[in-house]
Structure 1
Amino acid sequence: MAESTSYPFRTLREGLNDLDIRLFDAVAESPSPLLDATMRPLSAAADHSKLWMVIAAGLGFGGQSSRRAAVRGLGLLAVTSLVVNQGLKRLLPRRRPLFDGVPIARLRRQPTSSSFPSGHSAAAAAFAIGVGLENRGAGYVLAGLAGAVGLSRIATGAHYPGDVLAGFAIGAGVAVAGARLVPIVDDSRTMIPEPTVETIDVDPDGAGLIVVLNPASGDGTGTRVAEELRDALPAAEIVELTDDSDIDVIAADAAARARFLGVAGGDGTVATVAAHAIEADKPLAVFPAGTFNHFAKDIGAQTVAAVVESIRSGRIAHVDAVWLNDEKLLLNTASIGAYPEFVRARERYQRHRIGRVTATVRAFRAVRAQSEPARVRIEGRPTTVSFFFLGHSRYGASNFVPGRRSRLDDGVLDVRYLEDGHRYANTRLLLSLISGRMQNSKVYRELQAPVVTIEADEPFRVAHDGEAGDLRTRARFRVAYRELRVFGVSRVG
């Protein structure tokens, strides 16, 4: 009975083995100059995973998803190689194919290990799928390369097709299992409604525009901006501030008299005038006259000429405003703890022409060692933070070193901070930063919400828009959705 039961399985195995040999002969003996020229060098390049290591090194110079892809791919490659070479090849021995019929141009030294399964194919599949899980575009390209590596193992006489297919299946299985053990980082973004835009009639010479200008801003940039404005918009009124000027009083007067407002100065000056523009419901033109001009750049107002052109076109967009305790307007960012010192240190290191990641790591280590964490409650949750960043709208990719904003009208605050108190926190954070897996770090926290409240028993300093700020025991940040009307909004939407 046992023999009759095993007979169909033996017949099936023999049939599959015969098919495997026939397919091998068809590929290996195929007279193709293309295979002769490419298969041997490609197979050699994949020896000891050299090909995949070089590709991973290249991915490491890309963005966060590329770095994550490189780390995941190499990790899966290492696990797959261990499973295949130290496990399955020992448990499932199979002789290598015979060289008869394989063109000499393709032949390579025959490996001595078991033919089943193909380690090269398993490593190729694991690496390609691992990269694709984190970076889909790179994964598509590498899938084709992995398939070519598998073909090269048949064409050079190293493996039967069944060995290669089994290797692909094993590599794919390891990649899928790895995705369950180490979840993929989700870089998805929330869909945002279309921009709110309006058009008004504007006199081309700027009649009705009153510009509050700080001539001392930007180390004298304000003076140059004033001269450009007088040439480009001769009908506009320019109110120049002095050291003794009360900006609030001047901005309130300008808002009451103007058809629309303009401001040229640092972020502090811009925020003050913007608050009065909101109160008077007047459009605001922001001229880049400060040192960094973060807000101006993010609304597309990189140059005076660009702002002048946007005024003449009459195109206005509505962007969000952020209020601190309903009394202070924020245009860019706020922070507590050591974040401002960290940003300055990183910029200082970058001036020495080292990479952004290296500068980030060095600045983090330098500032972290000297900073005192703050004990606060964020939305009622007690935590101890060393770096805390709050941005007006969503800033770049997930990282505690945010990039640029692509929108200023998404209706959310972007909160990112590092928690103290975790075991090996510094090491874990640096590994997450280098590998591009900040979102999955236990040390890093991220929150997007229209309102965020921070409280503490001891006063903490809230820095904002480049200013040191005041000591507070409660800071409530609130988004006023598309409350501010601005000219020059080529980047919004």
Structure 2
Amino acid sequence: MVGTAEGVRPGVRPGMGRRVAAAAALLAAIGAIALVVVALLQEPLRLVAAPVLVGVAVAAGWTALVRRGIWRIAACAIALLALVGVIMLVVTASVLRTAGVVVLVLVAASLARAALGRDLVPAPSGLKSVPAAGHGVLLMNPRSGGGKVGRFALEEEALRRGVTPVVLEPGDDLRALAEAAVAEGADVLGMAGGDGSQALVADVARHHDVPLVVVPAGTRNHFALDLGLDRDDVVAALDAFGPALERRIDLAVLGDRVFVNNASLGVYAGVVQSEGYRDAKLATTARMAPDLLGPGAEGSHLRFRGPDGDDGGPTAMVLVSNGDYRLDRLDGFGTRARLDGGVLGVVTVRVEKGRDVTEMLAAQATGRLRSFHGYRQWNAPEFEVDSDKPLVEVGVDGEALRLPPPLRFRVLPGALRVRVPVASPGAAPAAVASAGPGEAIAGLVRVLCGQPAVRRQA
């Protein structure tokens, strides 16, 4: 008998509504597959030409990115022509058939979500119910996330919940404010801001064993995402000051600096260090790519040991994360299935030849970066990176730093208490995605038969 994965919520028996949704989702998926098969049988040349042109466009686009002068102009022209070819293939194909596949896929996904409910969502380990904060304090950075603190009226919302708001002014020391809040009796600390601010307040909270409330008022809010919070519902995060759920999670440390998300070295760190990156990310990346990855680029100066004790060798990117990352992109942003594994996640990407670049981009474009032969990933409680340079560029939770080597990373297992609202989604995308399409289909079949989407352990 198949058992549930550890921590997965085995759902209750589904009602008629969920069973009907499961049946409809399966029928919509079968319909989409049938349309694709028909198209393949009727127009095989068209379906072969489309991915070839997409591959040409990707390769030419990369060449345009890492070259300058006439090479960039020629590559741009080739990429444009290839894209026009793809568009023509799509336009001249059966519009109704294409639209039908898209609609059926969207319908199947929507109905599957309704049918499965939260059955495939893992329940984080160590969750416990806790009463409302006696003296909650919310620190707020009004400049984070383009002014989300003001846009969502977080100061007024905090007061309405009996939480003391503290708004950072220019020149304020966030750590000093957090320490002062604890000294004045705060039993729950909250931070409304980006991951860098969250890490600083988390460090204060862990020193005093005070729980942290994470309010996603930054730009990307990856820490909030992996805690299972709804990043689009900023105000709802304040409910964690009331009766809430609490658990312990890990923190990562670079030297004596705590980080909650990741630290990146190499290509991405070099781009982040450049002036104007925050205001013009794509333009800055395009401008610097020839120096970082193009012909004649300097070999990596980073030195480290791989999972087997081997020399890491020239590496385009090193990413050290607080927990295992499910990484599909090269910009250092992914999602973690859990934050309490007691390990650092280490990802390295090695590019040695021009052909490697095309393969790497193709893997990334299809969401299979981990299949690229230069990609390595492993876990470790500690990790060290050395260099022959006096200072190493490193991006820590999105903040650009230059630090003297060696860089020593370690994990602090269970160091931080965090509170989340009772009604929060409760799982990171990586945790949900780990179920995979096969388990989702099997879950739909079980729901259709009147059984929970996930079987209980025997």
Change (3 A) 1:47 1:373: same
Q: Deviations over 1:3-54 (max 9, x none)?
A: xxxxxxxxxxxxxxxxxxxxxxxxxxxxxxxxxxxxxxx9997589669859
Letter in 2 for 1:335: S
Match of 2:195 in 1: 267
Aligned alpha-carbon RMSD (Å): 4.1
Q: Deviations over 1:98-148 (max 9, x none)?
A: xxxxxxxxxxxxxxxxxxxxxxxxxxxxxxxxxxxxxxxxxxxxxxxxxxx
Once residues 298 and 340 of structure 1 are traced to their aligned partners in structure 2, the CA distance between those partners, rounded to angstroms, is 22
Residue from 304, 308, 316 that aligns with 1:378: 304
Letter in 1 for 2:261: N
- Give the deviation of 1:466 after TM superposition: 1.4
- Give the deviation of 1:199 after TM superposition: 2.1
Q: Contact (CA 8 Å) 1:337, 1:372: kept in 2 or not?
A: no
Within-5 A mapping of 1:11-160: 46=41, 53=48
Once residues 465 and 483 of structure 1 are traced to their aligned partners in structure 2, the CA distance between those partners, rounded to angstroms, is 18
Q: Contact (CA 8 Å) 2:138, 2:158: kept in 1 or not?
A: no
Q: Deviations over 1:219-239 (max 9, x none)?
A: 332234433434431x32222
- Give the deviation of 1:265 after TM superposition: 2.2
1:330 pairs with 2:259? yes
3-state SS of the aligned residue for 1:458? coil
Larger radius of gyration: 1
Q: Contact (CA 8 Å) 1:399, 1:439: kept in 2 or not?
A: no
Once residues 301 and 255 of structure 1 are traced to their aligned partners in structure 2, the CA distance between those partners, rounded to angstroms, is 27
Q: Structure 1 length normalisation: TM-score?
A: 0.53
Q: Contact (CA 8 Å) 1:232, 1:308: kept in 2 or not?
A: no
Letter in 2 for 1:202: A
- Give the deviation of 1:273 after TM superposition: 0.9
1:310 pairs with 2:237? no
Once residues 230 and 214 of structure 2 are traced to their aligned partners in structure 1, the CA distance between those partners, rounded to angstroms, is 7
Within-5 A mapping of 1:409-428: 409-422=340-353, 424-428=355-359
Q: Contact (CA 8 Å) 1:454, 1:475: kept in 2 or not?
A: yes
Change (3 A) 1:317 1:438: same
Match of 1:248 in 2: 175
3-state SS of the aligned residue for 1:473? coil
Once residues 201 and 422 of structure 1 are traced to their aligned partners in structure 2, the CA distance between those partners, rounded to angstroms, is 58
Change (3 A) 1:468 1:372: farther
3-state SS of the aligned residue for 1:453? strand
- Give the deviation of 1:342 after TM superposition: 6.0
Once residues 207 and 46 of structure 2 are traced to their aligned partners in structure 1, the CA distance between those partners, rounded to angstroms, is 62
Once residues 321 and 451 of structure 1 are traced to their aligned partners in structure 2, the CA distance between those partners, rounded to angstroms, is 12
- Give the deviation of 1:194 after TM superposition: 5.1
Change (3 A) 1:345 1:428: farther
Q: Contact (CA 8 Å) 1:286, 1:301: kept in 2 or not?
A: no
3-state SS of the aligned residue for 2:401? coil
Q: Structure 2 length normalisation: TM-score?
A: 0.57
Match of 1:221 in 2: 148
1:478 pairs with 2:396? no
Letter in 1 for 2:335: R
Gaps of 5+ in 1: 1-41, 61-191, 352-359
3-state SS of the aligned residue for 2:131? coil
Letter in 2 for 1:391: S
Residue from 398, 417, 421 that aligns with 1:466: 398
Change (3 A) 1:487 1:301: farther
Q: Deviations over 1:375-404 (max 9, x none)?
A: 222236252222222222233255545533
Once residues 41 and 387 of structure 2 are traced to their aligned partners in structure 1, the CA distance between those partners, rounded to angstroms, is 57
Letter in 1 for 2:324: R
Letter in 2 for 1:491: A
Between the two structures, name the one with larger relative contact order (CA 8 Å, sep ≥ 6): 2
Once residues 250 and 366 of structure 1 are traced to their aligned partners in structure 2, the CA distance between those partners, rounded to angstroms, is 42
Change (3 A) 1:214 1:414: same
1:199 pairs with 2:126? no
Residue from 253, 268, 277 that aligns with 2:205: 277
Once residues 195 and 419 of structure 1 are traced to their aligned partners in structure 2, the CA distance between those partners, rounded to angstroms, is 35
Match of 1:369 in 2: 294
Once residues 346 and 445 of structure 1 are traced to their aligned partners in structure 2, the CA distance between those partners, rounded to angstroms, is 28
Residue from 450, 453, 471 that aligns with 2:381: 450
Q: Deviations over 1:397-445 (max 9, x none)?
A: 5554553333322333232222244574334434554576644544222
Once residues 473 and 406 of structure 1 are traced to their aligned partners in structure 2, the CA distance between those partners, rounded to angstroms, is 30
Aligned positions, number: 310
Q: Contact (CA 8 Å) 1:375, 1:382: kept in 2 or not?
A: no
Match of 1:391 in 2: 321
Once residues 43 and 486 of structure 1 are traced to their aligned partners in structure 2, the CA distance between those partners, rounded to angstroms, is 52
Letter in 2 for 1:455: D
Q: Contact (CA 8 Å) 1:428, 1:443: kept in 2 or not?
A: no
Once residues 227 and 403 of structure 1 are traced to their aligned partners in structure 2, the CA distance between those partners, rounded to angstroms, is 30
3-state SS of the aligned residue for 1:279? helix
Q: Contact (CA 8 Å) 2:325, 2:334: kept in 1 or not?
A: yes
Letter in 1 for 2:382: V
Once residues 238 and 182 of structure 2 are traced to their aligned partners in structure 1, the CA distance between those partners, rounded to angstroms, is 19
Q: Deviations over 1:278-304 (max 9, x none)?
A: 000011111222222222233215234
Structure with the higher helix share, 1 or 2? 1
Change (3 A) 1:433 1:293: closer
Once residues 345 and 458 of structure 1 are traced to their aligned partners in structure 2, the CA distance between those partners, rounded to angstroms, is 23
Once residues 405 and 347 of structure 1 are traced to their aligned partners in structure 2, the CA distance between those partners, rounded to angstroms, is 27
